[in-house]
Amino acid sequence: DDLLDWLKSGWLAWALDEGEQPRPPDVSLLRATDELESWCRRHGLLGAWGLQIPAPVPGDIGDDALPAEWIPSGRQAMPASAAHLWRWASYVVQPLQDLWSSKRPSLQDWLAGLQAALARAGALPVLMADEAGELALQSLRFDLLDANEPAGGLWAGLSSMTRLDGPAFLRWVSTVLEATTFRPPAPEQPADVVITPLARAVLRPFQAIVLPGADERQLGAMGSQSGWMGTRLREALDLATPMTQRAAQWDAFTLLMTRPGVICLYRLAQGSEPLEPSAWLERWATQAGQGIGQAADARLTVSIEPCPVYPPLPSLKEALWALPGQVTATSYEALRQCPYRFFANSVLGLREHDELEEGLDRSDFGIWLHEVLRRFHEQRQGQLAISSEAEDVQAWLDAAQHVLHETGLDRDSQRPFFLPFQADLDRLARAYVKWLRAHESGGWSLQDSERVAQRDLPISENLSVKLYGQIDRIDARHHEGGKQHLVLDYKTGSLEGLKRKVAQPLEDTQLAFYAALSDPQWVVSASYLHLDAQDVKQLDHPDVQRSAQALLDGLARDWSRLHAGAAMPALGEGSACTYCQARGLCRKDHWTVQEAST
Ligand code: SF4
Protein backbone atom coordinates (compact mmCIF):
# COMPACT_ATOMS: atom_id res chain seq x y z
CA ASP A 1 0.00 0.00 0.00
CA ASP A 2 2.92 2.37 0.66
CA LEU A 3 4.17 1.82 -2.88
CA LEU A 4 0.69 2.47 -4.31
CA ASP A 5 0.31 5.59 -2.13
CA TRP A 6 3.63 6.84 -3.48
CA LEU A 7 2.53 6.23 -7.07
CA LYS A 8 -0.69 8.13 -6.40
CA SER A 9 1.00 10.95 -4.47
CA GLY A 10 0.91 13.43 -7.35
CA TRP A 11 4.63 14.22 -6.94
CA LEU A 12 5.72 11.88 -9.70
CA ALA A 13 6.09 12.78 -13.33
CA TRP A 14 6.31 9.86 -15.72
CA ALA A 15 7.69 11.69 -18.72
CA LEU A 16 6.11 11.05 -22.10
CA ASP A 17 9.05 11.91 -24.30
CA GLU A 18 12.04 12.39 -22.07
CA GLY A 19 13.86 10.38 -19.47
CA GLU A 20 15.34 6.93 -19.77
CA GLN A 21 12.12 5.04 -19.04
CA PRO A 22 9.49 7.09 -20.86
CA ARG A 23 5.78 6.54 -20.55
CA PRO A 24 4.13 4.79 -23.49
CA PRO A 25 2.02 7.33 -25.40
CA ASP A 26 -1.40 5.89 -24.53
CA VAL A 27 -0.84 5.16 -20.84
CA SER A 28 -1.61 7.57 -17.99
CA LEU A 29 0.07 7.23 -14.60
CA LEU A 30 -3.31 7.11 -12.88
CA ARG A 31 -4.72 4.37 -15.09
CA ALA A 32 -1.55 2.30 -14.90
CA THR A 33 -1.55 2.65 -11.08
CA ASP A 34 -5.19 1.49 -10.94
CA GLU A 35 -4.38 -1.57 -13.04
CA LEU A 36 -1.28 -2.36 -11.00
CA GLU A 37 -3.31 -2.03 -7.78
CA SER A 38 -6.03 -4.38 -9.07
CA TRP A 39 -3.41 -6.95 -10.05
CA CYS A 40 -1.59 -6.75 -6.72
CA ARG A 41 -4.83 -6.95 -4.71
CA ARG A 42 -5.98 -9.97 -6.73
CA HIS A 43 -2.74 -11.81 -6.11
CA GLY A 44 -1.81 -10.44 -2.69
CA LEU A 45 1.56 -9.17 -1.64
CA LEU A 46 3.07 -12.59 -2.09
CA GLY A 47 2.25 -12.40 -5.79
CA ALA A 48 3.49 -8.83 -6.08
CA TRP A 49 6.88 -9.50 -4.48
CA GLY A 50 7.20 -12.62 -6.58
CA LEU A 51 7.62 -10.64 -9.77
CA GLN A 52 11.09 -11.58 -10.93
CA ILE A 53 11.83 -8.41 -12.81
CA PRO A 54 15.47 -8.05 -13.77
CA ALA A 55 17.25 -4.74 -13.21
CA PRO A 56 15.91 -2.31 -15.81
CA VAL A 57 18.17 -1.32 -18.66
CA PRO A 58 18.25 2.46 -19.27
CA GLY A 59 16.42 3.36 -22.46
CA ASP A 60 14.62 0.03 -22.66
CA ILE A 61 10.92 0.25 -22.01
CA GLY A 62 10.47 -3.41 -22.87
CA ASP A 63 7.61 -5.22 -24.53
CA ASP A 64 3.98 -4.45 -23.89
CA ALA A 65 3.50 -7.25 -21.39
CA LEU A 66 5.81 -8.80 -18.84
CA PRO A 67 7.27 -12.06 -20.19
CA ALA A 68 5.51 -15.06 -18.70
CA GLU A 69 8.66 -16.26 -16.89
CA TRP A 70 8.64 -13.07 -14.79
CA ILE A 71 5.16 -13.74 -13.48
CA PRO A 72 5.07 -16.28 -10.61
CA SER A 73 3.30 -19.49 -11.57
CA GLY A 74 -0.44 -19.50 -10.99
CA ARG A 75 -0.74 -15.71 -11.49
CA GLN A 76 -2.62 -14.03 -14.27
CA ALA A 77 -0.77 -11.92 -16.85
CA MET A 78 -0.24 -8.35 -15.73
CA PRO A 79 -1.90 -5.70 -17.95
CA ALA A 80 0.63 -4.00 -20.24
CA SER A 81 0.27 -0.52 -18.70
CA ALA A 82 0.69 -1.92 -15.16
CA ALA A 83 3.76 -3.87 -16.32
CA HIS A 84 5.27 -0.70 -17.78
CA LEU A 85 4.61 1.16 -14.52
CA TRP A 86 6.11 -1.66 -12.45
CA ARG A 87 9.24 -1.58 -14.58
CA TRP A 88 9.41 2.20 -14.36
CA ALA A 89 8.98 2.08 -10.55
CA SER A 90 11.78 -0.53 -10.33
CA TYR A 91 13.99 1.75 -12.42
CA VAL A 92 13.17 4.73 -10.18
CA VAL A 93 14.05 3.00 -6.90
CA GLN A 94 17.08 1.14 -8.27
CA PRO A 95 19.68 3.62 -6.87
CA LEU A 96 18.23 3.09 -3.37
CA GLN A 97 17.83 -0.66 -3.81
CA ASP A 98 21.51 -1.00 -4.73
CA LEU A 99 22.48 0.81 -1.53
CA TRP A 100 20.00 -1.19 0.57
CA SER A 101 21.76 -4.43 -0.27
CA SER A 102 25.33 -3.07 0.06
CA LYS A 103 27.26 -2.95 3.34
CA ARG A 104 26.51 0.18 5.41
CA PRO A 105 26.94 2.89 2.77
CA SER A 106 27.79 6.41 3.87
CA LEU A 107 25.11 9.04 4.48
CA GLN A 108 26.50 10.87 1.48
CA ASP A 109 25.90 7.79 -0.73
CA TRP A 110 22.36 7.48 0.58
CA LEU A 111 21.61 11.14 -0.11
CA ALA A 112 23.06 10.87 -3.61
CA GLY A 113 20.93 7.73 -4.15
CA LEU A 114 17.82 9.48 -2.87
CA GLN A 115 18.50 12.47 -5.09
CA ALA A 116 18.95 10.19 -8.11
CA ALA A 117 15.72 8.32 -7.32
CA LEU A 118 13.79 11.59 -6.97
CA ALA A 119 15.25 12.79 -10.28
CA ARG A 120 14.27 9.54 -12.03
CA ALA A 121 10.76 9.83 -10.59
CA GLY A 122 10.48 13.35 -12.00
CA ALA A 123 9.79 14.56 -8.46
CA LEU A 124 12.89 16.75 -8.07
CA PRO A 125 11.76 19.67 -10.31
CA VAL A 126 8.20 19.38 -8.95
CA LEU A 127 9.48 19.63 -5.36
CA MET A 128 11.80 22.51 -6.21
CA ALA A 129 8.90 24.44 -7.74
CA ASP A 130 6.97 24.14 -4.48
CA GLU A 131 7.91 26.22 -1.41
CA ALA A 132 7.32 23.39 1.08
CA GLY A 133 9.03 20.90 -1.24
CA GLU A 134 12.05 23.17 -1.61
CA LEU A 135 12.35 23.45 2.17
CA ALA A 136 12.21 19.64 2.45
CA LEU A 137 15.04 19.33 -0.08
CA GLN A 138 17.08 21.98 1.74
CA SER A 139 16.65 20.19 5.06
CA LEU A 140 18.04 17.03 3.44
CA ARG A 141 21.05 19.14 2.34
CA PHE A 142 21.28 17.89 -1.20
CA ASP A 143 22.93 21.21 -2.14
CA LEU A 144 25.81 20.62 0.30
CA LEU A 145 26.77 17.20 -1.02
CA ASP A 146 29.44 18.59 -3.28
CA ALA A 147 32.77 18.80 -1.39
CA ASN A 148 33.83 21.64 -3.69
CA GLU A 149 30.94 23.77 -2.43
CA PRO A 150 32.44 26.31 0.01
CA ALA A 151 29.58 25.85 2.49
CA GLY A 152 29.41 22.13 1.95
CA GLY A 153 32.94 21.09 2.83
CA LEU A 154 32.30 20.25 6.47
CA TRP A 155 28.92 18.58 5.82
CA ALA A 156 30.31 16.61 2.86
CA GLY A 157 33.16 15.38 5.07
CA LEU A 158 30.85 14.44 7.93
CA SER A 159 28.28 12.74 5.71
CA SER A 160 30.93 10.69 3.94
CA MET A 161 32.23 9.40 7.30
CA THR A 162 28.78 8.53 8.74
CA ARG A 163 27.73 5.01 7.79
CA LEU A 164 24.12 3.84 7.93
CA ASP A 165 22.12 0.78 6.89
CA GLY A 166 18.74 1.14 5.18
CA PRO A 167 16.47 1.30 8.26
CA ALA A 168 18.85 3.80 9.96
CA PHE A 169 18.77 6.04 6.88
CA LEU A 170 14.94 5.91 6.90
CA ARG A 171 14.99 6.97 10.56
CA TRP A 172 17.44 9.78 9.76
CA VAL A 173 15.23 11.11 6.94
CA SER A 174 12.07 11.01 9.04
CA THR A 175 13.84 12.74 11.99
CA VAL A 176 15.12 15.50 9.70
CA LEU A 177 11.74 16.03 8.06
CA GLU A 178 9.90 15.92 11.41
CA ALA A 179 12.21 18.64 12.72
CA THR A 180 11.46 20.89 9.75
CA THR A 181 8.34 23.03 9.87
CA PHE A 182 6.98 24.77 6.83
CA ARG A 183 5.14 27.97 7.64
CA PRO A 184 3.29 29.40 4.68
CA PRO A 185 3.65 33.20 4.43
CA ALA A 186 0.94 35.12 6.28
CA PRO A 187 -1.84 36.42 4.03
CA GLU A 188 -1.67 40.11 3.27
CA GLN A 189 -5.23 40.71 4.50
CA PRO A 190 -5.59 40.65 8.32
CA ALA A 191 -7.25 37.44 9.47
CA ASP A 192 -10.95 37.50 10.45
CA VAL A 193 -10.45 35.05 13.29
CA VAL A 194 -7.26 34.62 15.32
CA ILE A 195 -6.79 31.65 17.64
CA THR A 196 -4.16 32.46 20.24
CA PRO A 197 -3.18 31.53 23.80
CA LEU A 198 -4.47 33.73 26.61
CA ALA A 199 -1.07 35.30 27.30
CA ARG A 200 -0.75 36.48 23.69
CA ALA A 201 -4.29 37.87 23.47
CA VAL A 202 -3.81 40.77 25.83
CA LEU A 203 -3.45 44.34 24.59
CA ARG A 204 -4.33 43.38 21.02
CA PRO A 205 -7.08 45.31 19.23
CA PHE A 206 -9.66 42.55 18.74
CA GLN A 207 -13.22 43.55 17.84
CA ALA A 208 -14.69 40.74 19.90
CA ILE A 209 -13.21 38.02 22.10
CA VAL A 210 -14.46 34.51 22.80
CA LEU A 211 -12.74 32.75 25.71
CA PRO A 212 -13.48 29.02 25.56
CA GLY A 213 -12.57 26.73 28.44
CA ALA A 214 -13.62 29.14 31.22
CA ASP A 215 -14.38 26.23 33.55
CA GLU A 216 -12.90 25.22 36.91
CA ARG A 217 -10.52 22.73 35.28
CA GLN A 218 -8.99 25.13 32.75
CA LEU A 219 -9.13 28.72 33.91
CA GLY A 220 -7.31 29.44 37.15
CA ALA A 221 -6.59 25.78 37.98
CA MET A 222 -3.25 25.17 39.66
CA GLY A 223 -0.89 23.48 37.14
CA SER A 224 1.08 20.45 38.20
CA GLN A 225 4.81 20.46 38.73
CA SER A 226 6.64 18.64 35.94
CA GLY A 227 10.29 17.74 35.56
CA TRP A 228 12.85 16.86 38.21
CA MET A 229 13.17 20.35 39.78
CA GLY A 230 11.10 21.01 42.91
CA THR A 231 9.36 24.30 43.69
CA ARG A 232 12.07 25.43 46.16
CA LEU A 233 14.85 24.90 43.62
CA ARG A 234 12.82 26.68 40.94
CA GLU A 235 12.28 29.65 43.29
CA ALA A 236 15.97 29.72 44.15
CA LEU A 237 16.85 29.77 40.45
CA ASP A 238 14.17 32.36 39.73
CA LEU A 239 12.34 29.97 37.38
CA ALA A 240 8.58 29.75 36.85
CA THR A 241 6.65 27.77 39.49
CA PRO A 242 2.97 26.72 39.30
CA MET A 243 2.19 29.71 41.61
CA THR A 244 3.94 32.29 39.43
CA GLN A 245 2.38 30.76 36.28
CA ARG A 246 -1.06 31.01 37.83
CA ALA A 247 -0.43 34.64 38.86
CA ALA A 248 0.67 35.46 35.29
CA GLN A 249 -2.48 33.81 33.94
CA TRP A 250 -4.60 35.93 36.30
CA ASP A 251 -2.88 39.11 35.10
CA ALA A 252 -3.49 38.16 31.47
CA PHE A 253 -7.12 37.30 32.21
CA THR A 254 -7.86 40.58 34.00
CA LEU A 255 -6.24 42.56 31.19
CA LEU A 256 -8.27 40.67 28.60
CA MET A 257 -11.47 41.31 30.55
CA THR A 258 -10.93 45.07 30.21
CA ARG A 259 -11.96 44.68 26.54
CA PRO A 260 -15.65 45.20 25.84
CA GLY A 261 -17.90 42.24 24.98
CA VAL A 262 -15.79 39.28 26.13
CA ILE A 263 -17.75 36.03 25.84
CA CYS A 264 -16.62 33.25 28.20
CA LEU A 265 -17.68 29.68 27.38
CA TYR A 266 -17.54 26.72 29.71
CA ARG A 267 -18.60 23.08 29.51
CA LEU A 268 -21.28 21.73 31.85
CA ALA A 269 -19.52 18.38 32.11
CA GLN A 270 -16.34 16.59 31.16
CA GLY A 271 -17.47 13.09 30.26
CA SER A 272 -19.80 12.07 33.09
CA GLU A 273 -18.18 14.51 35.55
CA PRO A 274 -20.08 17.79 36.03
CA LEU A 275 -18.06 21.02 35.71
CA GLU A 276 -18.61 24.44 37.27
CA PRO A 277 -17.63 27.77 35.71
CA SER A 278 -14.20 29.00 36.82
CA ALA A 279 -14.12 30.73 40.22
CA TRP A 280 -12.08 33.47 38.56
CA LEU A 281 -15.22 34.78 36.79
CA GLU A 282 -16.80 35.49 40.18
CA ARG A 283 -13.51 36.86 41.57
CA TRP A 284 -13.09 39.22 38.63
CA ALA A 285 -16.73 40.38 38.83
CA THR A 286 -16.29 41.20 42.56
CA GLN A 287 -12.97 42.99 42.04
CA ALA A 288 -14.11 44.95 38.99
CA GLY A 289 -17.56 45.67 40.42
CA GLN A 290 -19.17 44.44 37.21
CA GLY A 291 -21.73 41.72 36.72
CA ILE A 292 -21.29 38.79 34.42
CA GLY A 293 -24.43 38.20 32.40
CA GLN A 294 -25.64 34.67 31.74
CA ALA A 295 -26.20 34.38 27.99
CA ALA A 296 -29.04 32.30 26.64
CA ASP A 297 -28.16 28.95 25.13
CA ALA A 298 -27.57 29.72 21.46
CA ARG A 299 -28.20 26.14 20.33
CA LEU A 300 -31.39 25.50 18.39
CA THR A 301 -33.71 22.69 19.35
CA VAL A 302 -34.26 20.42 16.37
CA SER A 303 -36.77 17.57 16.36
CA ILE A 304 -35.77 14.53 14.38
CA GLU A 305 -38.19 11.82 13.43
CA PRO A 306 -36.90 8.40 14.50
CA CYS A 307 -35.57 6.40 11.53
CA PRO A 308 -35.54 2.75 12.60
CA VAL A 309 -33.09 0.52 10.74
CA TYR A 310 -34.44 -2.94 9.92
CA PRO A 311 -32.54 -5.94 8.59
CA PRO A 312 -32.46 -5.76 4.77
CA LEU A 313 -34.53 -8.18 2.68
CA PRO A 314 -33.39 -7.94 -0.94
CA SER A 315 -34.89 -10.19 -3.57
CA LEU A 316 -34.20 -10.90 -7.23
CA LYS A 317 -37.89 -10.74 -8.15
CA GLU A 318 -37.36 -7.79 -10.50
CA ALA A 319 -33.88 -8.84 -11.64
CA LEU A 320 -33.73 -12.57 -12.21
CA TRP A 321 -30.89 -12.02 -14.67
CA ALA A 322 -28.70 -11.11 -11.67
CA LEU A 323 -28.87 -14.63 -10.21
CA PRO A 324 -25.29 -15.94 -10.63
CA GLY A 325 -24.91 -18.78 -13.12
CA GLN A 326 -21.99 -20.21 -11.18
CA VAL A 327 -21.48 -21.19 -7.56
CA THR A 328 -18.31 -22.01 -5.62
CA ALA A 329 -17.89 -23.73 -2.27
CA THR A 330 -17.25 -20.34 -0.65
CA SER A 331 -20.26 -18.60 -2.21
CA TYR A 332 -22.59 -21.50 -1.35
CA GLU A 333 -21.24 -21.54 2.20
CA ALA A 334 -22.10 -17.80 2.36
CA LEU A 335 -25.64 -18.51 1.15
CA ARG A 336 -26.12 -21.19 3.79
CA GLN A 337 -24.73 -19.02 6.59
CA CYS A 338 -26.40 -15.76 5.61
CA PRO A 339 -28.32 -15.18 2.35
CA TYR A 340 -27.64 -11.44 2.54
CA ARG A 341 -23.90 -12.06 2.57
CA PHE A 342 -24.33 -14.14 -0.59
CA PHE A 343 -26.33 -11.24 -2.07
CA ALA A 344 -23.52 -8.76 -1.29
CA ASN A 345 -20.62 -10.94 -2.44
CA SER A 346 -22.03 -12.99 -5.32
CA VAL A 347 -24.98 -11.01 -6.67
CA LEU A 348 -23.59 -7.48 -6.22
CA GLY A 349 -19.99 -8.69 -6.63
CA LEU A 350 -18.72 -6.57 -3.73
CA ARG A 351 -15.31 -7.39 -2.27
CA GLU A 352 -13.27 -5.86 0.50
CA HIS A 353 -9.78 -4.85 -0.56
CA ASP A 354 -7.12 -6.69 1.36
CA GLU A 355 -4.45 -4.45 2.83
CA LEU A 356 -1.17 -4.80 0.98
CA GLU A 357 1.19 -4.60 3.89
CA GLU A 358 4.70 -5.77 4.33
CA GLY A 359 5.00 -9.06 6.11
CA LEU A 360 3.61 -12.52 5.76
CA ASP A 361 0.53 -13.81 7.52
CA ARG A 362 -0.74 -17.38 7.89
CA SER A 363 -2.87 -17.20 4.77
CA ASP A 364 0.16 -16.08 2.69
CA PHE A 365 2.06 -19.00 4.20
CA GLY A 366 -0.84 -21.30 3.21
CA ILE A 367 -0.68 -20.10 -0.42
CA TRP A 368 3.07 -20.59 -0.44
CA LEU A 369 2.74 -24.10 1.03
CA HIS A 370 0.17 -25.14 -1.61
CA GLU A 371 2.67 -24.19 -4.29
CA VAL A 372 5.49 -26.11 -2.53
CA LEU A 373 3.35 -29.27 -2.39
CA ARG A 374 2.29 -28.92 -6.02
CA ARG A 375 5.90 -28.59 -7.13
CA PHE A 376 7.16 -31.39 -4.84
CA HIS A 377 4.61 -33.87 -6.24
CA GLU A 378 5.14 -32.72 -9.82
CA GLN A 379 8.85 -33.54 -9.51
CA ARG A 380 8.24 -36.75 -7.56
CA GLN A 381 5.87 -38.07 -10.20
CA GLY A 382 8.53 -37.51 -12.86
CA GLN A 383 11.06 -39.71 -11.02
CA LEU A 384 11.85 -43.11 -12.45
CA ALA A 385 13.27 -44.72 -9.29
CA ILE A 386 11.46 -45.11 -5.97
CA SER A 387 12.84 -42.57 -3.50
CA SER A 388 13.83 -43.16 0.11
CA GLU A 389 12.30 -41.16 2.98
CA ALA A 390 15.43 -39.02 3.33
CA GLU A 391 15.41 -38.28 -0.41
CA ASP A 392 11.75 -37.28 -0.22
CA VAL A 393 12.47 -34.89 2.67
CA GLN A 394 15.35 -33.35 0.70
CA ALA A 395 13.19 -33.05 -2.44
CA TRP A 396 10.47 -31.33 -0.35
CA LEU A 397 13.00 -28.83 1.03
CA ASP A 398 14.41 -28.21 -2.48
CA ALA A 399 10.89 -27.48 -3.74
CA ALA A 400 10.42 -25.11 -0.78
CA GLN A 401 13.63 -23.24 -1.67
CA HIS A 402 12.60 -23.03 -5.29
CA VAL A 403 9.19 -21.53 -4.43
CA LEU A 404 10.84 -19.21 -1.89
CA HIS A 405 12.98 -17.83 -4.67
CA GLU A 406 10.11 -17.69 -7.14
CA THR A 407 7.88 -15.76 -4.76
CA GLY A 408 10.68 -13.34 -3.85
CA LEU A 409 10.62 -14.36 -0.19
CA ASP A 410 14.37 -15.01 -0.17
CA ARG A 411 15.18 -11.37 -0.95
CA ASP A 412 16.88 -9.27 1.72
CA SER A 413 13.78 -7.15 2.25
CA GLN A 414 11.43 -10.16 2.62
CA ARG A 415 13.62 -12.74 4.37
CA PRO A 416 12.97 -11.48 7.93
CA PHE A 417 9.20 -11.95 7.47
CA PHE A 418 9.65 -15.59 6.48
CA LEU A 419 12.04 -16.45 9.32
CA PRO A 420 9.30 -17.59 11.79
CA PHE A 421 8.04 -20.07 9.16
CA GLN A 422 11.54 -21.02 7.99
CA ALA A 423 12.41 -22.31 11.46
CA ASP A 424 9.78 -25.09 11.15
CA LEU A 425 10.36 -26.12 7.53
CA ASP A 426 12.59 -29.13 8.32
CA ARG A 427 10.08 -30.56 10.78
CA LEU A 428 7.17 -29.87 8.43
CA ALA A 429 8.97 -31.64 5.56
CA ARG A 430 9.62 -34.70 7.75
CA ALA A 431 6.06 -34.77 9.11
CA TYR A 432 4.60 -34.48 5.61
CA VAL A 433 6.81 -37.19 4.12
CA LYS A 434 6.03 -39.50 7.05
CA TRP A 435 2.29 -39.05 6.48
CA LEU A 436 2.72 -39.42 2.70
CA ARG A 437 4.58 -42.71 2.89
CA ALA A 438 2.01 -44.17 5.33
CA HIS A 439 -0.78 -42.92 3.06
CA GLU A 440 0.84 -44.46 -0.04
CA SER A 441 1.22 -47.79 1.74
CA GLY A 442 -2.61 -47.92 1.68
CA GLY A 443 -2.44 -48.02 -2.13
CA TRP A 444 -3.11 -44.32 -2.74
CA SER A 445 -1.20 -42.33 -5.32
CA LEU A 446 -1.54 -38.77 -6.42
CA GLN A 447 -3.75 -38.32 -9.44
CA ASP A 448 -3.97 -34.56 -9.79
CA SER A 449 -3.31 -31.38 -7.82
CA GLU A 450 -4.80 -27.88 -7.95
CA ARG A 451 -7.35 -29.16 -10.47
CA VAL A 452 -9.99 -26.71 -11.67
CA ALA A 453 -13.27 -28.65 -11.85
CA GLN A 454 -16.77 -27.68 -12.91
CA ARG A 455 -20.11 -29.36 -13.30
CA ASP A 456 -23.54 -28.29 -14.53
CA LEU A 457 -26.46 -28.92 -12.22
CA PRO A 458 -29.73 -28.86 -14.16
CA ILE A 459 -32.57 -27.67 -11.89
CA SER A 460 -35.57 -27.15 -14.14
CA GLU A 461 -36.25 -26.70 -17.82
CA ASN A 462 -34.89 -23.16 -17.93
CA LEU A 463 -32.70 -23.07 -14.86
CA SER A 464 -29.31 -24.58 -14.12
CA VAL A 465 -26.23 -23.63 -12.16
CA LYS A 466 -22.57 -24.44 -12.66
CA LEU A 467 -20.55 -25.73 -9.70
CA TYR A 468 -16.97 -24.47 -9.91
CA GLY A 469 -13.95 -25.10 -7.71
CA GLN A 470 -10.23 -25.71 -7.50
CA ILE A 471 -9.49 -28.99 -5.73
CA ASP A 472 -6.17 -29.03 -3.86
CA ARG A 473 -5.49 -32.67 -4.59
CA ILE A 474 -7.11 -35.88 -5.83
CA ASP A 475 -5.59 -39.28 -4.99
CA ALA A 476 -6.70 -42.56 -6.47
CA ARG A 477 -6.36 -46.29 -5.75
CA HIS A 478 -7.76 -49.58 -6.94
CA HIS A 479 -9.59 -51.28 -4.11
CA GLU A 480 -11.85 -54.31 -3.95
CA GLY A 481 -12.14 -54.47 -7.72
CA GLY A 482 -13.04 -50.80 -8.23
CA LYS A 483 -11.33 -47.45 -8.44
CA GLN A 484 -11.59 -45.02 -5.55
CA HIS A 485 -10.90 -41.29 -5.49
CA LEU A 486 -9.87 -39.34 -2.43
CA VAL A 487 -10.35 -35.56 -2.45
CA LEU A 488 -7.87 -33.82 -0.13
CA ASP A 489 -8.09 -30.23 1.03
CA TYR A 490 -4.92 -28.77 2.59
CA LYS A 491 -5.42 -26.73 5.75
CA THR A 492 -3.00 -24.78 7.96
CA GLY A 493 -5.48 -23.21 10.41
CA SER A 494 -6.90 -24.57 13.66
CA LEU A 495 -7.04 -28.36 14.04
CA GLU A 496 -9.88 -28.05 16.54
CA GLY A 497 -11.97 -26.09 14.02
CA LEU A 498 -11.47 -28.86 11.44
CA LYS A 499 -12.43 -31.54 13.96
CA ARG A 500 -15.66 -29.64 14.67
CA LYS A 501 -16.37 -29.48 10.92
CA VAL A 502 -16.03 -33.20 10.26
CA ALA A 503 -18.03 -33.95 13.41
CA GLN A 504 -21.06 -32.33 11.69
CA PRO A 505 -20.69 -33.71 8.16
CA LEU A 506 -23.97 -32.32 6.80
CA GLU A 507 -22.98 -28.80 7.92
CA ASP A 508 -19.61 -28.86 6.16
CA THR A 509 -19.93 -27.37 2.67
CA GLN A 510 -16.37 -27.56 1.39
CA LEU A 511 -15.60 -31.30 1.22
CA ALA A 512 -19.16 -32.12 0.12
CA PHE A 513 -18.88 -29.52 -2.64
CA TYR A 514 -15.55 -30.91 -3.90
CA ALA A 515 -16.92 -34.46 -3.75
CA ALA A 516 -19.89 -33.30 -5.85
CA LEU A 517 -17.40 -31.93 -8.37
CA SER A 518 -15.49 -35.22 -8.62
CA ASP A 519 -15.84 -37.78 -11.36
CA PRO A 520 -19.23 -39.45 -10.59
CA GLN A 521 -18.18 -42.85 -11.96
CA TRP A 522 -15.77 -43.51 -9.05
CA VAL A 523 -16.40 -44.06 -5.37
CA VAL A 524 -15.24 -40.88 -3.70
CA SER A 525 -14.15 -40.08 -0.18
CA ALA A 526 -12.83 -36.76 1.13
CA SER A 527 -10.53 -35.53 3.90
CA TYR A 528 -8.93 -32.41 5.26
CA LEU A 529 -5.16 -32.65 5.52
CA HIS A 530 -3.96 -30.53 8.41
CA LEU A 531 -0.38 -29.39 7.76
CA ASP A 532 1.61 -28.58 10.87
CA ALA A 533 5.25 -29.06 11.82
CA GLN A 534 4.17 -31.06 14.90
CA ASP A 535 2.19 -33.55 12.88
CA VAL A 536 0.39 -33.88 9.55
CA LYS A 537 -3.10 -35.20 10.27
CA GLN A 538 -5.73 -36.49 7.90
CA LEU A 539 -9.32 -35.85 9.04
CA ASP A 540 -11.77 -37.98 7.08
CA HIS A 541 -15.31 -36.95 6.24
CA PRO A 542 -17.41 -39.93 7.45
CA ASP A 543 -19.83 -40.17 4.50
CA VAL A 544 -19.04 -37.55 1.90
CA GLN A 545 -21.08 -39.10 -0.91
CA ARG A 546 -24.28 -38.75 1.10
CA SER A 547 -23.29 -35.17 2.06
CA ALA A 548 -22.55 -34.36 -1.61
CA GLN A 549 -25.99 -35.62 -2.68
CA ALA A 550 -27.64 -33.65 0.15
CA LEU A 551 -25.68 -30.57 -0.94
CA LEU A 552 -26.80 -30.94 -4.58
CA ASP A 553 -30.44 -31.36 -3.50
CA GLY A 554 -30.18 -28.34 -1.19
CA LEU A 555 -28.46 -26.26 -3.85
CA ALA A 556 -31.18 -27.06 -6.41
CA ARG A 557 -33.86 -26.09 -3.87
CA ASP A 558 -32.11 -22.86 -2.88
CA TRP A 559 -31.52 -21.81 -6.51
CA SER A 560 -35.18 -22.48 -7.38
CA ARG A 561 -36.30 -20.33 -4.45
CA LEU A 562 -33.94 -17.49 -5.40
CA HIS A 563 -35.14 -17.75 -9.00
CA ALA A 564 -38.73 -17.53 -7.78
CA GLY A 565 -37.84 -14.22 -6.06
CA ALA A 566 -37.39 -15.42 -2.47
CA ALA A 567 -35.89 -12.79 -0.15
CA MET A 568 -32.27 -13.00 0.98
CA PRO A 569 -32.45 -12.00 4.66
CA ALA A 570 -29.45 -11.14 6.81
CA LEU A 571 -29.53 -14.17 9.09
CA GLY A 572 -25.85 -14.42 10.05
CA GLU A 573 -24.88 -15.04 13.64
CA GLY A 574 -21.80 -15.42 15.82
CA SER A 575 -18.47 -15.89 14.04
CA ALA A 576 -20.15 -15.58 10.62
CA CYS A 577 -20.86 -11.94 11.45
CA THR A 578 -17.59 -11.28 13.30
CA TYR A 579 -15.49 -11.70 10.16
CA CYS A 580 -18.13 -10.66 7.61
CA GLN A 581 -17.05 -8.14 4.97
CA ALA A 582 -20.69 -7.13 4.39
CA ARG A 583 -21.30 -6.05 7.99
CA GLY A 584 -21.21 -2.37 7.07
CA LEU A 585 -23.72 -3.00 4.29
CA CYS A 586 -26.33 -5.02 6.19
CA ARG A 587 -25.94 -2.51 9.05
CA LYS A 588 -26.31 -5.22 11.67
CA ASP A 589 -24.77 -2.93 14.29
CA HIS A 590 -27.54 -0.36 13.78
CA TRP A 591 -30.66 -2.52 13.56
CA THR A 592 -33.54 -1.29 15.66
CA VAL A 593 -34.48 -3.91 18.18
CA GLN A 594 -38.07 -4.84 17.49
CA GLU A 595 -40.25 -5.43 20.51
CA ALA A 596 -41.93 -8.80 20.58
CA SER A 597 -45.59 -8.47 19.65
CA THR A 598 -47.99 -9.55 22.37
S1 SF4 B 1 -22.84 -9.23 9.30
FE2 SF4 B 1 -23.91 -11.12 9.72
S3 SF4 B 1 -26.05 -10.65 9.19
FE4 SF4 B 1 -24.79 -9.07 8.21
S5 SF4 B 1 -24.39 -9.83 6.16
FE6 SF4 B 1 -22.69 -10.47 7.44
S7 SF4 B 1 -23.21 -12.53 8.13
FE8 SF4 B 1 -25.11 -11.56 7.38
Q: pLDDT digit string (tens) for 440-467?
A: 999 999 999 888 999 999 998 889 999 9
Task: For residues 252 and 199, give the distance between their C-alpha atoms in angstroms, rounded to a whole number.
Answer: 6
* Half-sphere CA count of 42, side-chain side, radius 13 A: 12
Average pLDDT over residues 136-163: 76
Contacts of 579 (CB under 8 A, 6+ apart): none
pLDDT tens-place string over residues 16-40 = 555 566 666 667 788 888 888 877 7
Ligand 1 center–CA 37 separation, angstroms:
28
Ligand 1 center–CA 347 separation, angstroms:
15
Q: Is the CB of 562 under 6 A from ligand 1?
A: no
Q: Is the CB of 586 under 6 A from ligand 1?
A: yes
Tell whether the model's pLDDT for residue 496 goes beyond 80.
yes
Average pLDDT over residues 503-524: 88
How much is the ipTM here? 0.99
Q: Is the CB of 334 under 6 A from ligand 1?
A: no
Burial of 343 (0-12, 13-18, 19+ CB in 10 A): buried
pLDDT tens-place string over residues 198-222 = 988 888 888 899 999 999 999 988 7
For residue 501, which amino acid is it? Answer: K
Ligand 1 pocket test, pick from 331, 336, 341 with the greatest ligand atom count within 8 Å of Cβ, gives 341
Ligand 1 center–CA 581 separation, angstroms:
8
Q: Is the CB of 577 under 6 A from ligand 1?
A: yes
Ligand 1 center–CA 597 separation, angstroms:
24
Task: For residues 146 and 406, give the distance between their C-alpha atoms in angstroms, rounded to a whole number.
Answer: 41
Q: Is the CB of 335 under 6 A from ligand 1?
A: no
Tell whether the model's pLDDT for residue 415 goes beyond 80.
no
- Per-residue exposure over 308-323, b if at least 16 CB sit within 10 Å of its own CB, e if not: eeeebebebeeeeeee
Ligand 1 pocket test, pick from 309, 336, 337, 338 with the greatest ligand atom count within 8 Å of Cβ, gives 338
Ligand 1 center–CA 589 separation, angstroms:
10
Nearest atom in ligand 1 to the alpha carbon of residue 338 is 8
Nearest atom in ligand 1 to the alpha carbon of residue 311 is 3
Sequence ranges of the domains in the chain: 2-178, 192-222+242-302
